[in-house]
Amino acid sequence: MGLYRIPDGMTVRVAVSGRSGCGNTTASALLARALGVTFVNYTFRSLAGETGLSLAEILERARTDDSFDRTVDAKQVELAERGSCVLGSRLAIWVLKCADLKVYLDADAETRAARILRREGGVIADIRAFTLKRDAEDSARYKKLYGIDTGDYAFADMVVDAAAAEPEQIILSILEELARRNLAAPA
């Protein structure tokens, strides 16, 4: 895949969302690298690293303390608004209002669980159950906090079947869409 560039003097922000294990982080990082822009991926994992709490502790506390979500979401937008970037997060396409391209990566639960297993290890049945539970809890929290229905992503500029494509193919399709919109060009 060739590198693309953003036209001189232009600021371009791409928001990429998807559920856990859909390849959101991988695709966003590759896209940012291909464009030569900042990759913004401030998540509960980032917050866990900063606070010294485990991801499981953050997730548990976030069930009853809205400040965790609000902190993460505000930090993402703050970082993304600084300049050209790719913001990859569960809520990127909803919270980054100034995004020039909003991409939703979709993948079935089996594919997502298998990817998480490869990344983190464990037992597939446990990962699948945890992932589905986390999806449901996240969806309920986002609905309560922001009125966002994460099952409704029809407004996204692109919906990509991430289960049917390798990350490089996904990135190429996004780069081609950016080029169609005159937001990027082959370098």
In DSSP terms, 14 is beta-bridged to: 86, 101
Which residues are CB-contacts of 34 (< 8 A; sequence separation ≥ 6)? 1, 3, 4, 171, 175
Dist. CA 180–CA 137, nearest whole Å: 37
Which residue type sits at 48? A
35 close to 183: Cβ distance less than 8 angstroms: no
Pairing of strands 4-5, 185-186: antiparallel
User: What pLDDT score was predicted for residue 2?
Assistant: 52
Beta sheet of 101-106, edge-to-edge order = 38-40, 85-88, 13-17, 101-106, 158-161
How far out from the chain centre does Cα 165 lie? 16
- Closest by Cα among 63, 19, 14 to 35: 14
Block means of pLDDT (10 residues each) for the chain, length 187 residues? 83 95 91 96 90 92 90 95 96 96 94 86 89 89 92 96 91 96 93
pTM: 0.88
Between helix 55-62 and helix 124-146 the angle, nearest 10°, is 40
What the block records as the tokens of 100 is: 């020039």
